[in-house]
Structure 1
């Protein structure tokens, strides 16, 4: 593997760099708090698939540029592209997910540890992206929220499957139905966050190296053993996400969208 490789996916808002066996995947839309556009979802899917083919890869760190990890989906931008939403909403049979879900779930398919480095906002789609990683390092003051119900939606980017793996069912329901905001420290106490660090990226790199120091085949097998990916139960949950969200999206499309926040503070 080259010592250093850099790529800039088509949206221009995702940076991918591989150095000495560690891949850095960074959301790069800092002026919008790294709110995800439809193009960024495509790029996240593409980046995860690309990294599967990188020889010598040992771990991945996913982070966000600027003041936030990810403030969610840029819902205003997405709703302006109904054809784009429809195209990405259709599940791919070979994945068992659609593009929205695969942007988060695809990191589970990598044979190496993936660690999310969270600071600032981690809301809605951003939280689901973080939960798609194998571990999460957060600053103590980061803001975590399962945000979707605030905007008349439900988590539909694999969050229903990943959230219930980490916390009891009653906690998952409370977080989802209230859409309340947690600090990184509180998220750690609940089990959403693996470690708390003042410098999330440095902490994530440290953890990623710890997780990947042993035999690569054993690490890959251990991750596969403990990470549900394509089992029937997970597929049923992901399919239920899509069905419920489709009904809510249809309702939202005919409602007054003026209550949605501007893209500078996107809903997620």
Structure 2
């Protein structure tokens, strides 16, 4: 697979645009005039995009990005809170584990393919939580990152608490969440909040996709589930999940393809993902 430039389809009225270019799905926030601020319609469209991609067994990775000069400047309060009844519905979890504000970010962790956030410009609040719920985060050196909720007297939310606590030591997380301190992309990488810094983060992200695409899509999907599924469980639950996933991999068609190609010292040609 060769790296390609981001598709340049003309923006439409949708707040979220999904474009599939070979094995890569590009999901773009499309409110550049608002620095891709998140409103309630954006939440709906992001969830719909992720739900549709979950059923696509041909793609090998998802790139999350923002059109224009910013990834996402956070929640667009002025727009999102015009309909207070709708906000209340989205905030209530009811019998579900997460509410809709949390679901919009958690859903990317559930995709059976790697999700890579490509960050430039602003990465604030809801935007940072979206990036944190991706599996990898590539950023320009001069991008600005901030857990901005402190500015408004709030705590981190929208499912960001889980990845923040995985990526950062407790004292670092509390400092950033209590102050809303702004970080450069370089500093975000130093702290472990971002994965890699690059002048062209999209090219760096696609280089990683190219590496991952050389492996079985089933083992990639199972690895993602294994890592997230064992973060907070007991040892017994962790080892049980490890055994169950490995058993599934032994039976997977793409595993046989990988073994055969490895024995022949040839590049494997995998079929569609069968796991996840």
TM range (shorter): 0.7 to 0.9
1:155 paired to 2:140 = no
Match of 1:189 in 2: 190
Structure 1: which 5+ residue stretches go unaligned? 234-268
* Higher RCO, Cα 8 Å, sep 6+: 1
1:92 deviates by 6.0
- Answer with 16-25 or 115-124: which moved more: 16-25
Partners of 2:102 and 2:120 in 1: how far apart?
22
1:173 paired to 2:156 = no
After TM superposition, list the pairs within 5 Å mapping 1:120-135 onto structure 2: 120-135=121-136
Partners of 2:26 and 2:127 in 1: how far apart?
17
Match of 1:106 in 2: 107
1:227 deviates by 1.4
Q: Is the Cα–Cα contact under 8 Å of residues 24 and 60 in structure 1 kept in the other structure?
A: yes
After TM superposition, list the pairs within 5 Å mapping 1:1-268 onto structure 2: 12-91=14-93, 93=95, 96-228=97-229
Q: Is the Cα–Cα contact under 8 Å of residues 124 and 148 in structure 1 kept in the other structure?
A: yes
Please give the per-residue CA displacement for 1:84-110, whole angstroms capped at 9, x wherever unaligned. 11111122645x211111111110000
Q: How many equivalent residue pairs?
A: 228
Partners of 2:49 and 2:65 in 1: how far apart?
13
TM, length-normalised to structure 2: 0.77
Match of 2:244 in 1: none
1:212 deviates by 3.4
Please give the per-residue CA displacement for 1:60-84, whole angstroms capped at 9, x wherever unaligned. 0000000000000001212221011
Please give the per-residue CA displacement for 1:13-62, whole angstroms capped at 9, x wherever unaligned. 11101121110000010001000110000111111111011131111000
TM, length-normalised to structure 1: 0.80
Partners of 2:25 and 2:220 in 1: how far apart?
16
Please give the per-residue CA displacement for 1:116-135, whole angstroms capped at 9, x wherever unaligned. 00000000000000000000
Q: Is the Cα–Cα contact under 8 Å of residues 119 and 138 in structure 1 kept in the other structure?
A: yes
Runs of 4+ aligned structure 1 residues displaced above 3 Å come to 5-8, 228-233
Distance 1:71 1:215, change over 3 A: same
Match of 2:251 in 1: none
Q: Is the Cα–Cα contact under 8 Å of residues 11 and 39 in structure 1 kept in the other structure?
A: no
**Structure with max Cα Rg:** 2
Partners of 1:232 and 1:46 in 2: how far apart?
29
Distance 1:39 1:219, change over 3 A: same
Structure 2: which 5+ residue stretches go unaligned? 1-6, 235-276
Match of 1:261 in 2: none
1:228 deviates by 3.9
Q: Is the Cα–Cα contact under 8 Å of residues 70 and 126 in structure 1 kept in the other structure?
A: yes
Partners of 1:229 and 1:77 in 2: how far apart?
38
Partners of 2:81 and 2:167 in 1: how far apart?
31
Distance 1:92 1:52, change over 3 A: farther
